[in-house]
Structure 1
Amino acid sequence: MSEPSNERLQKVLADAGLASRREIERWIEAGRIEVNGATAITGQKVKAKDRIKVDGRLFTPARRTEPLRVLLYRKKVGEVVTRDDPEGRPTIFRKLPNLVSGRWITVGRLDINTSGLLLLTNHGELAKRLMHPSHEITREYAVRVLGEITPEIITTLTRTGVMIDGHRAKFDSLAPGLNEEGVSANQWWSATLHEGRQREVRRLIESQKLQVSRLIRTAYGPLVLGRGIKAGGFREATDAERNALLKAVGLDALIDAPTAPGTRSRSTISAAPKRPVKPGDAPSSAKARRAREAADAGFAKPARGGKTKPGGARPTAPGRTRRVAGPAKPRR
C-alpha cells in the first residue's frame, strides 16, 4: 500500500484494512485516533510523514501486501452480508479465505432473501468503482413473479419508471427469462439494471401489485455466476475475469499487474519486535543443531584449511585416541 499523502484520515485507515470508513469515523468521533499528538477530527487530511495513533498505538503500513484478488461467491437464501450479526445468523464472511493483509470488501449487498452472485475483492478502489452509479455496471437477476406481467407493466418498469424514495427507478430491461436451472419457465423473468439501491428489484415489481417469490442475481458486469459454484461456496476470478472488471471501471493500469499498486494491505499498530536470540538458545536449523551436538561430543569439524591432502594423516578429534591396527588375532 502506498503511504498516505494528502488523503482523508478515514480513507487511509480504511484502505489499510483496519475497519470500514464509517467505523473509523466513529473512532474519530470517540477520540480514539491522534495525528501528530493531537486528537483527530472527521475529514482531516494526513500526509506521509504524519504520526497516526489508534488507541495510543502507532499505526504503520504493513510490508507484505496481497495481489489484487476477486472472489465470486454464491450466496444462499438465509445468509447475511455482514461480518457480525447480532442475531447470530450465518454470514458469508465465515467461509472466506484468510488474507495475508487487508480485508474482503463486498461489492454491494444482497438481502437475506436474495441468492446468487456476490463479488468480493481486497482492492478498495475497484470495489468503489464497481458500486458507483457513474460507471453504470449492469446487474442481472432471475426473478420468479407471482402474477401476470403485462406489456403495460413492462413499459412502466422499463420506460416510465416508478418513484421510490424520491428517486425515479426503472429496469434497463425486463423480458421472459430462465429459471434457476437455466430452463425457460412460466413466471420467470430476466431483469437488468445498473444501480444497486436497497431492494430495488423487489420494490419495482411490488409497485405493480405483484409478488417476488424468488430472486437470484445471475451476473454483475462482465462476470456471470454459472454453474461451477455450489450454494454457499466461492471461487477465485480468473485473470481474464479480473481484467474484464478492471477494464469496465477504467483501472486498465492494474491489468496483469502481479501486485497491483494500491492493493489494500492490513496495517500493523505497533507490532512487537521478534525476541532476540540469546546465548544458549537452541539452534534454529537442523544443520546448526547437528554441528553443536558434534562439538559437545568432541567431534568438532576441523577449521577451514585443516583438511589433509591425499596420503596425509587424518586429524584426530579432540578427546579421542586413534586406534592403531595391529596383527590379526588367530581364530580359536
Structure 2
Amino acid sequence: MSEKLQKILANAGLGSRREIEKWIAAGRVSVNGSISTLGDRATDKDTIRVDGQVISIKAKDEIYTRVIAYHKPLDQVSTAKDPQGRETVFDSLPRTKFGRWISIGRLDINTTGLLLFTNNGELAHRLMHPSYQVERKYAVRVFGEVTQEILNNLKAGVLIDGDLCHFDSIIEKGGEGANHWYEVSLAEGKNREVRKLWQSQGVEVSRLIRTLYGPVELPKDLSRGRWRDLDADQISKLAELVKLKVTPRKEQAVQKKHKKSNFKWKKPR
C-alpha cells in the first residue's frame, strides 16, 4: 500500500513530516528518477532519493520506533558534528539498523543529564514542539541570594530575548552558604532558557542537570556517557503524550524474554 512521501521519509528517521514537506517543495526528493511534488505517494518498492542519495526504505511491517535515554556528561556538544572538533553526544550512541538518531532537544555543553534520542522523526518533532507542552525538569545549583521576590518573578514570567519565559514550578532542595539547589520545571525548551531565567535575576547557575523529559526520568543507575533503551511501555507513553501512534522496537521484549528464559544458575562443582 502506498503512503505519502513525507510519512515514509519521517518513518525512516530523516526528519519531521513538516520538515520533509519543505524538502519536497524545494525539489530535493525524487521517486524512480522523477522529482516529487507535495501529495505524491510511494511504496517500499520504489527508489526514493533525497539530494540524489538513495534512501533505504523498510517495509511497513518492519518499521519500528526506538528511543534511548542518554546520560550526557560535561563538555560534550549536542550536535552531530562540531567544527571545533569537540566530542559530541552522537559519538557515544549505539548504531541503529533502522533510520538515524535524532536528538529530542539539546543540552548545552555545560549541562548534564537526560537526553533522549529516537529514530522516529515525527515523534522527535512533536516532543520538541511547544504546542504539546512537554514537561522538562532540572536540578539546578545557583550561586547568590534568592529572595521570595525573585522566585515570584521566575514563576510569573520574565522577558528573555523578546519572549515571556517562566518556570511552572520551583522547589527548594537545600544547600549551604550562597549555594542552593532547586528543582525547576518548564514546558518549553528554548536555548539556555533555565540559565537565562536565573541570570535575569542576578543569580548565576553553577550546575544544571536535566532529570526528566515528559514521562521519562533519568535512571539513577545510568552512568554519565551511557545509554539505555526505553521499553515498549515507556515509548508508548511518550507517543501518547503527543497524540502519535507508533510501533515500539520488537527486539527489546524478545531480548529480555530470551535472557530470562535461557539463564540457569548451576552450582559449581
TM-score using structure 2 length: 0.77
Question: Which position in structure 2 is the counterpart of 1:270?
Answer: none
User: Over aligned residues, Cα RMSD in angstroms?
Assistant: 3.3
Question: Which position in structure 1 is the counterpart of 2:181?
Answer: 188
- With over 3 angstroms needed to count, the CA separation of the structure-2 counterparts of 1:3 and 1:83, relative to structure 1, is farther
Question: Which position in structure 1 is the counterpart of 2:145?
Answer: 148
Question: Which position in structure 1 is the counterpart of 2:76?
Answer: 79
Question: Which position in structure 1 is the counterpart of 2:224?
Answer: 231
Q: Would the aligned equivalents of 2:77 and 2:108 in 1 still touch at CA under 8 Å?
A: yes
Following superposition, the deviation at residue 69 of structure 1 comes to: 1.7
- With over 3 angstroms needed to count, the CA separation of the structure-2 counterparts of 1:82 and 1:92, relative to structure 1, is same
- With over 3 angstroms needed to count, the CA separation of the structure-2 counterparts of 1:186 and 1:121, relative to structure 1, is same
Q: Would the aligned equivalents of 1:143 and 1:191 in 2 still touch at CA under 8 Å?
A: yes
Following superposition, the deviation at residue 26 of structure 1 comes to: 7.4
Question: Which position in structure 2 is the counterpart of 1:170?
Answer: 166
1:68 aligns with 2:62: no
1:201 and 1:210 map into 2 onto residues whose CA distance is 11
Question: Which position in structure 2 is the counterpart of 1:209?
Answer: 202
Q: List runs of 5+ in structure 1 lacking aligned partners.
A: 260-332
Following superposition, the deviation at residue 61 of structure 1 comes to: 1.9
2:248 and 2:28 map into 1 onto residues whose CA distance is 39
1:48 aligns with 2:42: yes
Question: Which position in structure 1 is the counterpart of 2:101?
Answer: 104
Following superposition, the deviation at residue 19 of structure 1 comes to: 6.7
AA aligned opposite 1:107: I
SS at match of 1:208: coil
Q: Which has the larger radius of gyration?
A: 1
1:218 aligns with 2:211: yes
- With over 3 angstroms needed to count, the CA separation of the structure-2 counterparts of 1:232 and 1:119, relative to structure 1, is same
AA aligned opposite 1:204: L
Following superposition, the deviation at residue 14 of structure 1 comes to: 4.7
Q: Would the aligned equivalents of 2:142 and 2:179 in 1 still touch at CA under 8 Å?
A: no
Question: What do residues 218-261 of structure 1 show as CA deviations (whole Å, max 9, x unaligned)?
Answer: 1111111132111111111133322332332233x5477849xx
1:139 aligns with 2:136: yes
Instruction: State the identity %.
Output: 44
Following superposition, the deviation at residue 33 of structure 1 comes to: 4.3
SS at match of 2:146: coil
Question: What do residues 110-141 of structure 1 show as CA deviations (whole Å, max 9, x unaligned)?
Answer: 01111101111122222222212222111000
AA aligned opposite 1:235: R
- Greater shift, 59-68 or 210-219, is seen at 59-68
2:29 and 2:247 map into 1 onto residues whose CA distance is 35
- With over 3 angstroms needed to count, the CA separation of the structure-2 counterparts of 1:119 and 1:55, relative to structure 1, is closer
Q: Would the aligned equivalents of 1:13 and 1:24 in 2 still touch at CA under 8 Å?
A: no
Following superposition, the deviation at residue 162 of structure 1 comes to: 0.7
AA aligned opposite 1:77: L
2:239 and 2:227 map into 1 onto residues whose CA distance is 20
- With over 3 angstroms needed to count, the CA separation of the structure-2 counterparts of 1:34 and 1:213, relative to structure 1, is same
- With over 3 angstroms needed to count, the CA separation of the structure-2 counterparts of 1:92 and 1:66, relative to structure 1, is farther
More strand by share: 2
AA aligned opposite 1:46: D
Question: What do residues 247-304 of structure 1 show as CA deviations (whole Å, max 9, x unaligned)?
Answer: 32233x5477849xxxxxxxxxxxxxxxxxxxxxxxxxxxxxxxxxxxxxxxxxxxxx
- With over 3 angstroms needed to count, the CA separation of the structure-2 counterparts of 1:128 and 1:3, relative to structure 1, is farther
Following superposition, the deviation at residue 200 of structure 1 comes to: 0.5
Following superposition, the deviation at residue 46 of structure 1 comes to: 2.1
* Count of paired positions: 246
AA aligned opposite 1:222: P
- With over 3 angstroms needed to count, the CA separation of the structure-2 counterparts of 1:55 and 1:206, relative to structure 1, is closer
- Greater shift, 101-110 or 58-67, is seen at 58-67
1:117 aligns with 2:114: yes
More helix by share: 2
Q: List runs of 5+ in structure 2 lacking aligned partners.
A: 252-269
